[in-house]
Amino acid sequence: MEQVRSEKLDPVIVGQIEKDLRYIAGIIKQKGREMLSNYTITPPQFVALQWLFEDGDMTIGELSNKMYLAFSTTTDLVDRMEKNHLVVRVKDPKDRRVVRIHLLEEGERIIDEVIKKRQDYLNDTLKNFSSEEVSVLQHYMTKLHQEMREK
């Protein structure tokens, strides 16, 4: 059953949560860029590869929507990734007019390595948290994510 809050939240606390989330997102972005410096891909290419890794083959239009990029920008991005043997364009077997972007082994290898490095970084960051604190943090992060996706 859905819980509905009856009392107003303190705007100072809400403001601090927003600020902390913004700073955390900035640090994650910076650390992610540092990790990518050892690879031949750009941050937007990493995001595209991650979507393909998580959601499977998709059209350029679908990828454009997920990345909030113009179709032409995504096409250029895919062209460069295809040139570097990270992805390949394949015709949809159900409709030959549809072209899907397929993640190749090299793209998958890069995603696996970078995500592992990101998880190692987070694990190291959480070393001063108890197991219970990590569990509570994960629970509320998941809840916040779900609420944001529903809005």
Q: Supply the CATH number for residue 113's domain.
A: 1.10.10.10
- Please determine, for residue 99, whether its predicted confidence score (pLDDT) is greater than 60: yes
Counting the structural domains of the chain, the total is 1
| Contact in structure between 100 and 94 (CB atoms under 8 Å) | no
pLDDT digits (tens, 9 = 90+) for 49-78: 999 999 999 999 999 999 999 999 999 999
Structural domain harbouring 140: 11-150
| Contact in structure between 88 and 103 (CB atoms under 8 Å) | no
pLDDT digits (tens, 9 = 90+) for 104-145: 999 999 999 999 999 999 999 999 999 999 999 999 999 999
Kindly state whether residue 2 falls inside one of the protein's structural domains: no
Kindly state whether residue 1 falls inside one of the protein's structural domains: no
Q: Which of 97, 96, 113, 149 is nearest to 41 (CA)?
A: 113
pLDDT digits (tens, 9 = 90+) for 15-39: 999 999 999 999 999 999 999 999 9
CA–CA distances in Å: residue 149 to residues 67, 143, 144, 146 = 15, 10, 9, 5
| CA–centroid distance for 128 within its chain | 25
Kindly state whether residue 5 falls inside one of the protein's structural domains: no
Kindly state whether residue 138 falls inside one of the protein's structural domains: yes
